[in-house]
Amino acid sequence: MKKHIIFLGPPGAGKGTHASALQSEYRLLHLSTGDMLREAITSASELGNKASAFMDAGQLVPDELVIDMLLERMASLEQGGWILDGFPRTLPQAEALDARLQEQQVSIDQVFCFEVDEEKLVERLSSRQVCKGCGAVYNTQSKPPKTLGVCDDCGKKELYVRPDDEADAVRKRFEVYEAQTAPLIDYYKRAGLLCRIDASRGIEEIRAELKRSFEG
């Protein structure tokens, strides 16, 4: 499928979970700037060193760093469809993306905005666990691994809670979302691309709605 999709929404709304499921089902590339930044930190690259303090504090990484990183990654891709997860997060990022897509004569097909309230996010994120080995994501309440503390995918016993998923950091990230990212809802609404998703529901219900929209 050659769709170009953006997933907008606060941290913990389920963007990553749904993007990775749709990636395999529709052969779309899942591009997550959060994952790219975490990889940069793991490999101790210059970008990773610059980004880590912002991420640990629940703040956004400066626009110029994230824009360069994403546009570089996009330039290296074969032509094809993608889901952008966690980008853009500010107006300058949205404008930089529009400018690049215009050059490439590519247009965004849909922007899905995942909506869920702050308390639900704190509850969800503090029970989220990530595998240190392969990055697989679990949730001790809604999607536990088969054996406690062990990754189903790679078998490593290194599931951990991301520092930015601790309750205080989540509240901070939600505040940042409201202040800096929520204005994009209006931006994409005006462009006629916005589709709101009630993300307080269960994973299966949301997946079914996304599938209907994709195939409709």
Give residues in contact with ligand AMP (CB under 6 A). Answer: 11, 33-34, 37, 54-55, 58-61, 66, 86-87, 89, 93, 164, 173
Q: Measure CA 73 to chain center.
A: 15
CA dihedral (16, 17, 18, 20) positive or negative: positive
Q: Are 7 and 19 in contact (CB under 8 A)?
A: yes
Nearer to ligand AMP, 55 or 206 (CB): 55
CA distances from residue 18 to 24, 102, 201 in whole angstroms, order as listed? 10, 27, 13
| Catalytic option among 128, 143, 146, 212 | 128
CB of 97 to ligand AMP, least distance (A): 10
Q: Is 173 a catalytic residue?
A: yes
Q: Is 15 a catalytic residue?
A: yes
The first and second tokens of residue 136, run together, are 């697989």
CB of 186 to ligand AMP, least distance (A): 18
Beta bridge partners of 113: 8, 196
CB of 68 to ligand AMP, least distance (A): 11
Q: Is 207 a catalytic residue?
A: no
Q: Is 128 a catalytic residue?
A: yes
Write out the catalytic residue numbers: 15, 89, 128, 162, 173
